Amino acid sequence: MENTPEEYEVIPLSADDSFSFSCTPSVSCFNECCRDISQFLTPYDILCLKNHLKLGSAEFLEKYCTQHTGPETGLPVVILRLDPNEDMKCPFVGPEGCRVYENRPSSCRTYPLARLVSRSRETGRISEQYVLLQEEHCKGHMENHRQTVREWVEQEGIAVCNEMNDLMVEIIALKNSLHPAPLDFRERHIFHTALYDLDNFRTQVFQNRLLEKSDVTPEELRAAESDDTALLKLGIRWVKYAIFGGRT
């Protein structure tokens, strides 16, 4: 949910710091955080959601998403489309709660924490910082259930999301250092296909032999043929090569 600075407090936390939070139907604000939001979807979010809904990637993007250019990165970003006829609520929320809970987006999974990442220019290593978002509308902070950040990350299955989302950090770094100008039409198409429209990317790889002259191994190709996570990793490598001149 979009807020002004007066409406929430941001508290930095270490991995072993604890916080109180629980979100269940018994909490009075249940589902209130699932409306009037700017919900950015990462490539891994889209992969999980489209598979959960048993939709092709193009169909999922057309039905549930809009695409814009990120004002800070200059890269295409995908945003979840809200329903103006339903008080701008998330299309996946119902009275009983989230209908895609097992495969909800990583930012939803992480809340009430937010994860901030940075990448060292010297070493390429990624560092992380968690912060606690205490928003006025959220009553979950008043629940008597404490856990550490480390426990929350494990309990909510956040680590695999972080691992996949961190692969995008290098692309952002390459964009900033090597390609400050906006992406052209061809580059936007490559980015969109390889990272967001995975089913189309699979067709390009296995029917049109897109990676035939790359250094991708037969083992990697076999894995990507049936595993969307492996395919997305190939897509990230392809973007780095085709747009920024890196190795596949």
At 206 the pLDDT is: 96
Model pLDDT, residue 6 = 44
Q: Which two tokens stand for residue 209?
A: 């032999």
Find, among 53, 73, 74, 75, the residue nearest to 64 by Cα: 53
Q: Integer distance in angstroms from the first to the last C-alpha of the chain?
A: 38
Residue 121, classified by CB atoms within 10 Å of its CB into exposed (0-12), middle (13-18) or buried (19+), is exposed
Query: Domain-by-domain residue ranges, the chain?
Result: 5-157, 169-244
pLDDT in tens, the chain (248 residues): 344 444 668 999 999 999 999 999 999 999 888 988 889 999 999 999 999 999 999 999 999 999 999 888 889 999 999 988 888 999 999 888 999 999 999 999 999 999 999 988 888 889 999 999 998 889 999 999 999 999 999 999 999 999 999 999 999 999 999 999 999 999 999 999 999 999 999 999 999 999 988 889 999 999 999 999 999 999 999 999 999 986 65
Closest CA to 239 of 191, 182, 177, 183: 191
Q: Which residue has the tokens 């198409």?
A: 189
Q: Give the single-character DSSP code of 182.
A: P
pLDDT at site 227: 97
Vertex 161: Cα angle to 172 and 7 (nearest 5): 80
